[in-house]
Structure 1
C-alpha cells in the first residue's frame, strides 16, 4: 500500500487523521480506506478545496446590498456559482466562481467599486479540513463541575437532602426558562407571517418539569389552523376575493404548497428555508428527514441554545402534559428522576451527546422511574388506565387514534399512601431493575405492570387502545412495537418502544450498573453520612464509570462462559407464533431451539466430534450437578436449598436419557441432556473434541474464499455456508494433527428473576498444548453471532 498523508503509524496500528479513528492492522486499514465514510470525507475535502480556490472574500459594501447585486457585479469576471453573505450583520460576503480563472481575474484587478463604495477583495482564507470536534458542541456537561457538585452534596446531612439538592442544582433556572420563551415567541412571530394561524408549542424537557441547563428546546409546529386558512383562501380566490391588483394571491408561500397533501419532508424544507433566511439569530439549520419523526434542527447564536421542530406532533405535547401531571402528583418524583438521570449519564448508559445512538434517552429513563413508582407497594403513582378512569368527560382526549385521556390537574387524583423516603425509593429502584427480566418482558405504564413478551411475538398488526366513540380510531391499525433487549412502551402510542434503539451491549452495561448500584445501596456508605469526611450517599454512587477497571460483576464474567441473549426481533414469524402459544413456558421452547442450533454449530460448522467420555450415569450427573449448583450459587448469591417453581440460575437436576431428544437428531455417541420441565431451568450437557485449529486464520481464509464465490461478505458468524467452507479448508490444510482439545459444555436457560438468556459454561478436560484459551476467545465472538444467524433462518 502506498504511503498516504492521512494515515499515521502508531504503536497499536494506524490512525486515520482525516476520519479521526484508530485502525488495528493493515487489512482493517485497507477496508477502512475503501469504506463509505473515508471516501465521502475525501470527496468532501476535495470539494471544499476547490471551493476555496474558486472563491474570494469581499467586504466594504452597504449592509442592504443583496446577493443578486454582488453576483451581477462579479459576473464580469466569469460565471458566479454562489454568493454567501454574512446574515447577521452583512459585513462580508464569499463569492464563489465556477472556474478558478475567474478568481485569478478578480484578484488581478486592483480596485473594485459598487454603489460608490470601494470594495475590499482578497483571496478566501484557506482552512485545514477536519471533522468538527464532538467535545466542542458537547452541552451535556452540567454548569457545575463534578468536584463542586460532590462538595455541595457532602454538605447535606442525608441522602434525602442530597436528592433534593440535585433538583436545585440542575433544574432550569428562571433565566433559562425566559430564554426559551423568547425563542418560542421569535419563531411564532416569524412563522405566522408565512404560515398564518400556525402555532409553535414547546414540549419535552424544557416544559415537563424535568429539564436541565443543557436540554434542547423541542417544538411542535401545529399547522391544523393554517390548513383551514388555506382552504378558506382558495375558496375566496375562486370567488375573486383576497387578491392583489395584479391578480396574485397575497399569501405567496401558501400558494406554492398544498398543506393537506404535502409530505413531511416538503413541509420541513419550507420551515428550514424560513429559519435560514428570515429568522434573526438562528443558524446551523438542518433537516433530518430520516428520523422516526422528521425534524428541523437549529441553533440560536446569542442564547447558545439548540432546538428541534417537528410537524403536527400532538402526541409529544400530550406526553409532556402527562409528565407534568406525574410530577405534580408527588413531590418525590422530580428528585428521583433527576438523580437517576445523572447516575445513568455518569455510568455512560444514557445521555448520548450527539443524540440517537444505542444509549437510553432521558424520556425512556423517566418512564422507567415512573413505572417503578407504579409498581412499588403501596404505589406512588397510578397507572395510565387508572388515571383515565379518574378523568371527567371534558378531559377525554384522542390523538391519532390513541386514547390519551387523563386528569388535567393533580387535585383530581387521590394522594398516595406510600410513605417511603427518597433514600428508600432510590434503593428500591436499583433493586427492582437489577432483577428485572428486560428481554422477556414489556414495560407498560398504561397497565401499570409488565406484559409478557409472548403477547407481542405473534402480532403482525395491533389495534390501538382507542376511545369507543371514534369509528376512525377503531379502524386504525399499526405495526407492533419494535422488540429488543429493552422494551418500554410509550404510555399512549402503544406501538412505540421508546427503548427500541438499545443494543445487547448497552443492555449488558445497563444490567451491570443496576446490580452495582443495588449492591452499593445496601452499604452503610450509602445510607449514612461519613463522620471522617469520606464520600458517601450519592457522591459515591455518581462516581463516573472508568473503562478497563474490573468490578465484582466483571470478575464473575471472567469465568469461561458465553451468553446467548433472547432477542425476539431476529426470530422468524413462525417461531414467534410458536413462542406466543407457549405463553409462560416460551423460555423452554426457545432454549430447546438454541440447543439444537448449538449442535449444528459444533458438529456441522466447526467439525467437532463427540468425546468418548460423554456417557455419564445418573449418579455421576447428580454429583456433578450438585457441585456446579453449589459453585454457581456461590457466585450469584443464590440459596442452594431453594427449589421454588420459579427459575433460578445455576440449579441442576439429574437427567435421564429418555428425557433428552431422540438419537436421530443427535450425532451418534453424543447425547444432549435436556430437562423438559418448565418448573426448573433447562439444562443441557455435551462433551466435544476438536482436533484441528479451526480458530486460526479464519478471517483471512474467509476473504480468500469470498473472492471465488457468489456469497456476499458478512461479519464472522454471519453465514453458515461460508463458515463451514472455512472450517473445511483449515482441516484439509492441517492433514497431520498432533494434539486434540477435549472440552465440556454445559448450557442452562436463565429467566424469570433474571434476564432471559442461555448461559454456556465451558471447561477443558484435555488440553495438552494449551489451546483452550485461544479457542474460547474465538467462540466468545463467533458463537453468539452464529446462533443468531441460524435462529433468524430457523422455522
Structure 2
C-alpha cells in the first residue's frame, strides 16, 4: 500500500498551495508571492459583448490592439497557476516513477500566450527503469475506486513507452474525476493527452511524454518545444513590442477560423508565430535565432534585466513601426512569397532559396524538400518541419484571407462611431467568406484507452 501526495488542483484556486516559487524567479514574480501560502486568480476576461464595447471606445487601431493585449495577456499569477498544475502532476508522478520531471513549454513559457492559451506539458520519464513501479491495470474499468490501495508491479520499458499516456490519463481521472472526465488520447507524430478545458483555468491542456536517452546530453533528452520556448521568451524580453503584435495575429487567425481549439495538423498558432517572426527577421525588426542562441549560450540569464542589456547587441535593428503598418507589411510579405521556392529560415533570419540550400543544415537528407510545400525547419531541431501538413491549396486559401484583410485594413482602420472599425472590422467577414478557408483533414486519431 502507498499513499500519493495531495493533488493540488481543485475547483477553488484560492486554496491551491504554492510551493517552490523561487523556481520561477526568471519571471520576476512580486516578492509577496514568496510568503503567500495559496494562490488567487484574477476574474475572467470580458465577454465578447463587453470586449466589443471596450474596443469601440478606443481612439485608434493601435489603442485597440494595446487594449486587447492587456485585457487578455497572462499575468504573473496566471503563469504561476499553470506552474502549480505542472508541479502537482510532477510531484505525484515522481512518487511513482522516481526522477520523473514535468515541464511547461509553449505559449505559457515563451511570453506569447494569453489567458485562453492551452497549457502544454511534457513528462520527462527517467532513464533507469530497473525499479519502476506501475499500477496493475491501465483499464479504468478494472481499477478499484481507491487509487491508493491498488497493487503495483514492475513495468517493462517498452510497455511504459506505449502505454504511459493511458496510465497518466487514468490516474488524472482518478485524482480529479470531473476535471479530467473528457480527456482523450491522440496519436500522431507526438502522441498527446488532450483536454478541451481544465475547468478551473478554463483553458485546454495537452500532455506529451519524453524518455531520457543515454545518447543525448548525458542522459538528458532536450524537448524541442522547451528549447524553442526558451529562445522565444528571450526574444520577447529583448523586443517587448513582439507580444502585442503576436496577440493581434493570433486573434485574427482564431476569429477568421484559420486556427481552431485543440490539436490540429493544419494551421496553428505556432506555425503562424514562426511565419510572423521570420517576417520580422526579414524586415530587420528581429534578430536571427543564431544571434539569440549565442547570447543565451554565453551565460545570459532569461530575465528582464539581462534582456535589457542584451538589447544593446541589436542596435542594428530597425525601430518597430506602428501596429497598422506592421500588419500591413506582414500581409504583403505573406502574399508575396512562394513557399515552394524558398525555406523559411528562422535560424539565419531570412528566406533561403531551396535550390541554393545544398550544403547547408537543411539539405535533402535532413528534410526532403519535395514532401513539404511550406518548409520551415525548427531551429532547435532541424529535422522537424514546423509547417508540416500544409499543402498548396491550404496556402492559397490563407493568402486569399490575407488579401481580404489588406482591403479591409485600408478602408476601415480609422475610428468610426457608427459601425465596427479597426480590429473589429478585420474579423467582421460573413460566414461564407470564412468557410472558403480549406480545413485540413485531421491526422490525429483518437485512442481507445482500453486498447492503447
TM-score by length of 2: 0.69
Q: What does residue 706 of structure 1 align with?
A: none
1:326-376 per-residue CA deviation (whole Å, 9 max, x = no partner) reads 211212111111111111222222x22343143x10001111111111111
Is residue 212 from structure 1 mapped to residue 114 from structure 2 by the alignment?
yes
Q: What does residue 529 of structure 1 align with?
A: 415
SS at match of 1:157: coil
Q: 1:509-658 alignment to 2 at 5 Å?
A: 509-523=397-411, 525-526=412-413, 528-530=414-416, 532-547=417-432
Q: What does residue 332 of structure 2 align with?
A: 431
Q: 1:167-316 alignment to 2 at 5 Å?
A: 167-173=69-75, 176-223=78-125, 226-228=126-128, 230=129, 255-258=154-157, 264-278=161-175, 281-288=179-186, 290-298=187-195, 300-312=198-210, 314-316=223-225
Q: Which one of the candidate residues 155, 168, 176 is aligned to 2:57?
A: 155
SS at match of 2:104: strand
On the 8 A contact 1:285/1:296 being kept in 2, the answer is yes
Structure number with larger C-alpha Rg: 1
Take 1:291 and 1:455, find their aligned partners in 2: how far apart are those partners?
Answer: 32
CA RMSD of aligned residues (A): 3.6
On the 8 A contact 1:332/1:422 being kept in 2, the answer is no
Q: How far off its partner does 1:394 sit? A: 4.5
Take 1:550 and 1:391, find their aligned partners in 2: how far apart are those partners?
Answer: 43
Given the superposition, is the C-alpha separation of residues 146 and 431 from structure 1 closer, same or farther in structure 2, using an over 3 Å criterion?
farther
Higher RCO (CA < 8 A, seq sep 6+): 2
Q: How far off its partner does 1:195 sit? A: 1.0
Q: What does residue 396 of structure 2 align with?
A: 508
Q: How far off its partner does 1:520 sit? A: 3.2
1:147-179 per-residue CA deviation (whole Å, 9 max, x = no partner) reads 433322222222221111121122235564344
TM-score by length of 1: 0.41
Given the superposition, is the C-alpha separation of residues 155 and 430 from structure 1 closer, same or farther in structure 2, using an over 3 Å criterion?
same
On the 8 A contact 1:194/1:253 being kept in 2, the answer is no
Q: How far off its partner does 1:191 sit? A: 0.9
Take 1:536 and 1:309, find their aligned partners in 2: how far apart are those partners?
Answer: 39
Q: How far off its partner does 1:384 sit? A: 0.9
Take 1:354 and 1:278, find their aligned partners in 2: how far apart are those partners?
Answer: 23
Is residue 361 from structure 1 mapped to residue 249 from structure 2 by the alignment?
no
Is residue 480 from structure 1 mapped to residue 371 from structure 2 by the alignment?
no
Structure 2 spans left out of the alignment, 5+ residues: 1-9, 11-43, 134-150, 211-221, 438-452
SS at match of 1:522: helix
Q: 1:449-464 alignment to 2 at 5 Å?
A: 449-454=350-355
Take 2:237 and 2:56, find their aligned partners in 1: how far apart are those partners?
Answer: 28
On the 8 A contact 1:371/1:443 being kept in 2, the answer is yes
Q: What does residue 721 of structure 1 align with?
A: none
1:532-562 per-residue CA deviation (whole Å, 9 max, x = no partner) reads 54433222222244306999xx9xxxxxxxx
Q: What does residue 321 of structure 1 align with?
A: 230
1:493-541 per-residue CA deviation (whole Å, 9 max, x = no partner) reads 2222222222433222211111222233334x32x333x5443322222
1:686-707 per-residue CA deviation (whole Å, 9 max, x = no partner) reads xxxxxxxxxxxxxxxxxxxxxx
1:727-761 per-residue CA deviation (whole Å, 9 max, x = no partner) reads xxxxxxxxxxxxxxxxxxxxxxxxxxxxxxxxxxx
Given the superposition, is the C-alpha separation of residues 305 and 522 from structure 1 closer, same or farther in structure 2, using an over 3 Å criterion?
closer
Q: What does residue 645 of structure 1 align with?
A: none
Q: How far off its partner does 1:464 sit? A: 7.2
Q: What does residue 676 of structure 1 align with?
A: none
Take 1:301 and 1:538, find their aligned partners in 2: how far apart are those partners?
Answer: 29
SS at match of 1:506: helix
SS at match of 1:282: coil
Q: What does residue 667 of structure 1 align with?
A: none
- The runs of at least 4 aligned residues of structure 1 exceeding 6 Å deviation read none
SS at match of 2:264: coil
Q: What does residue 756 of structure 1 align with?
A: none
Take 2:160 and 2:343, find their aligned partners in 1: how far apart are those partners?
Answer: 33
Take 1:419 and 1:513, find their aligned partners in 2: how far apart are those partners?
Answer: 25
Q: What does residue 372 of structure 1 align with?
A: 279
Given the superposition, is the C-alpha separation of residues 151 and 304 from structure 1 closer, same or farther in structure 2, using an over 3 Å criterion?
closer
Q: How far off its partner does 1:426 sit? A: 1.5
Given the superposition, is the C-alpha separation of residues 544 and 196 from structure 1 closer, same or farther in structure 2, using an over 3 Å criterion?
farther
On the 8 A contact 1:384/1:491 being kept in 2, the answer is yes
Q: How far off its partner does 1:186 sit? A: 2.3
Q: What does residue 290 of structure 2 align with?
A: 385
Q: Which one of the candidate residues 474, 491, 503 is aligned to 2:379?
A: 491
Given the superposition, is the C-alpha separation of residues 162 and 426 from structure 1 closer, same or farther in structure 2, using an over 3 Å criterion?
same
Take 2:433 and 2:209, find their aligned partners in 1: how far apart are those partners?
Answer: 44
Take 2:352 and 2:274, find their aligned partners in 1: how far apart are those partners?
Answer: 15
Take 1:370 and 1:481, find their aligned partners in 2: how far apart are those partners?
Answer: 22
SS at match of 1:342: helix
Given the superposition, is the C-alpha separation of residues 392 and 410 from structure 1 closer, same or farther in structure 2, using an over 3 Å criterion?
farther
Given the superposition, is the C-alpha separation of residues 428 and 233 from structure 1 closer, same or farther in structure 2, using an over 3 Å criterion?
closer
Take 1:181 and 1:344, find their aligned partners in 2: how far apart are those partners?
Answer: 27
Given the superposition, is the C-alpha separation of residues 273 and 533 from structure 1 closer, same or farther in structure 2, using an over 3 Å criterion?
closer
Q: How far off its partner does 1:316 sit? A: 0.7
SS at match of 1:547: helix
Q: How far off its partner does 1:221 sit? A: 0.9
Given the superposition, is the C-alpha separation of residues 233 and 550 from structure 1 closer, same or farther in structure 2, using an over 3 Å criterion?
closer
Given the superposition, is the C-alpha separation of residues 384 and 545 from structure 1 closer, same or farther in structure 2, using an over 3 Å criterion?
farther
Take 1:516 and 1:149, find their aligned partners in 2: how far apart are those partners?
Answer: 23
SS at match of 1:284: coil
Is residue 411 from structure 1 mapped to residue 309 from structure 2 by the alignment?
yes
Given the superposition, is the C-alpha separation of residues 291 and 383 from structure 1 closer, same or farther in structure 2, using an over 3 Å criterion?
same
Take 2:172 and 2:156, find their aligned partners in 1: how far apart are those partners?
Answer: 17
1:458-516 per-residue CA deviation (whole Å, 9 max, x = no partner) reads 99xx9679xxxxxxxxxxx7553674343332222222222222243322221111122
Q: What does residue 683 of structure 1 align with?
A: none
